[in-house]
Structure 1
C-alpha cells in the first residue's frame, strides 16, 4: 500500500514539474499584445501592436516596457501576420485590452471591417475598450510614453474607467455594443475619443518621464459620432456629459453655471450624485414629438456668487440657474444631432417602444428624413442636497 502511494506521489510531482516547465517555455516563446492600433494609409490597413517587453524581476535596464510594431496590408489579418515576421516570438492576442482606431479610417472607410475582424477572431476577447483618435494616428497613440503605469495601454484603460466612474464625460464601449448600434435602425453609434496634448515627438521619448510637468500626454477628448459605421461628427466634453445625462447613464459628474448679473463671469459648481432621465415619444400627424424629463441631485461644491444660500430663496435661485444651464446643454446636443441627421441618442428606439405601429410606417426613412423633423420638450429639475449653513452674501 505504501509503495503504491509512493508511486502516485512521484507521478503527481513529475506531472506538476513537467507542466511547470511547459508553461515557462511557452512564456519564453510568446509575445503578449496589450493594445492594437488600426489606421488607414492609402488603400492599406496600417496595424500597430503594442507588445509587452519582458523585464527581469530586478533590473536597472533602460529598455522600454513595451515595443510598438507596425505593418501595412490590404487586410488586418495580413498586416498582423507581417508584424509576426518582425519578432522572434509568437504573437498572443489573448491579453489585448484596447483597440484604437485612427480618425482617418473612421472617416473614409468606416469601422465595420474592424469590428467584424475583432468579433470573428477567436483569439480576441469581445470585451475590449474601443477608442477613436482625433488629430493623431492610432500608431502614434500607442507610442506615447505613460507616466503612472508601466504599460501605456494600461494607463489609457485605467484612465477611461476612472473617467467613467467620476466625471461621466466618457464611458467604455465594447465591439458587440458598437456593432449592434450600427445595425440598429433606431440609433447611431458613438465612441470615446482620444487625442494628444503637446507634440508627438516629445510624447514618445523616455526623457519625458524625467519632468514633473510633462509637456505632452494623451487625454480623452469628447465623443466621435458615427452615421452607420463612418465618422460624421464630434462632441466636446460638455456635450458628452449632456449625452450621457440624456441617455440616463450619468454616474457622477460636475456641472457649473455662471452667476446671475455678473460681468466677471464667476461660476458656481454642482457635484452630481444622482440623475434620472425619462424620454417618451409619439408620432402626431406624421411628426415625431418627444418629452424629455431630467432630474438631477447634487451637492453645492463651489459658490462664487452673491447669493444668500442660508435662505430657501437663495437655494431656489441656484437650482433655477442650474436647471437653465442643463436645459441649454441638452438643446445644444439636440441641435447638433439633427443638423448631422444622426440619431445617436436613440429616439428611434423610443418610438419603437412607445408608438410601435407608427414606427413601422416610418422605420425605413427614419435616419434619412424623419428624424430631422422631430420636436422636443425638455423639463429639468435640479435638487441641491447639501449646501452647508454659511451665509456667504456680502
Structure 2
C-alpha cells in the first residue's frame, strides 16, 4: 500500500493506492484498453454509401455497420406486403367508423398497399405523430387519407418511399463481398416503414422477413443487430423488434448503460452508469468542428461509446454529406485510433455485455498464473475476445500467454498498482496460462 500526499487548495489530501496482488485480473472497459469506442453506422443502404463512402472506410481500414432495406435488393425472397383483411373491406368500414385505438394500426398498415399513389405519405405522417405521442392527430391523418381514397383523389399506381428508391443498385453478392471486408450488415426492415404505425402482424413481418433474407444471403452472424427506421423509440415497436434481434440501435435498455439518442441534445455529463451510448447524427448543417468534438468527448471520458449515424452521400440519400467532409472526418477518427476502439455496432454491444456478465477466476502457482473467463451469454453470438489485465510478480519482465493453441510472449508494463500484462482472451474458452519469462 502506497500513500500519496497531494495539496488541495491549501489542504493536504491523502490518496491511498493499494497494490494489486499478483494474479488479480480485470477486464478492460474497452477492447485493447482504449479510452472509448466509436461505431460508424449507416442507415438505408443508399447507393453512394457503397460507391463513395465505403472505399474511404476501406482505405483507412475502419469497419462500419450498414443497416439495409432488404426488400428492394434483387434476389430477396420477401418484399413489402399487407397481411390482413381485404383492403376493400377496410376502406368501406372507414366510411362509417372513425379511426380509433382499435382500428388505427390495421388502417395505417394497409395505406401503402391500396394500389394508389399518395396514401403511403399518410402512413409516414401518422407514424411520425405516433412516435411523437400525438395519437389523436395520427387518427385524424388516417381519417383524412381514407376520405380521399373513397372520393377517388389518388391516382392508381405503386408508391415507394425515398429511402427505398435511393437504395437501388446494390446486390446481395456485392453486399457479401463488402461484409468480407470487415463491415457489419444488419436489418433496416423490409420496406423502411414507420413501425410505430404498424399492427403486430405487419410489424413482425417486416422484422422477421428482413432477418430471414439477411440470414439466407449473409449468414447467422449478421442477424445480431437491427435499426427500426427513423430511429423510433416507440416502446411498443421496440418491444417487438427485441424479440427478433439481440441488439437494436433504437434502444438498449441495459441497467449499466446511459442512452443518448441522436435526437437528444443531452451530453454524456455525470452518470452513475458504467457506459454511455452517445448517438450523434451529422446533417448538412452540422459543422465539422462539432463532429470532431464528439470524437474528443469519447477520448476524454473513458466511459463513452460514440455511435455515429449517417445517411446520404454526395447528393443521394437523406441529409447527404459530401465525400470530402467524410474523408476528413474519418481520417480524424483514424488518427485517434490509438485512443479509440473503432468497431461495428454489433461488436461493441457484444464486448460490453460480455464484460458486464463475465466471471473471472485466477490463481498464482510458482511462475504460472491461470485465468478463466466465463459468461452465461449465448455462444452463438458472444465469442468476441475480451482484453484482460492481469497483475504479475514484479520480477516478471516478460510473460508467455497461452490459451488453447494460441501462444504469445509480451513485455510487461506497470501502473500505480503494480506490474501487469495486457492480452486478449476468448470467454468460455480454455484456461489462459501466463508464464513468467
Higher strand share: 1
TM-score clears 0.5 = no
| Higher RCO structure (Cα 8 Å, ≥6 apart) | 2
Q: Which of the five TM-score ranges fits, normalised by the shorter chain?
A: under 0.3
TM-score (normalised: structure 1): 0.23
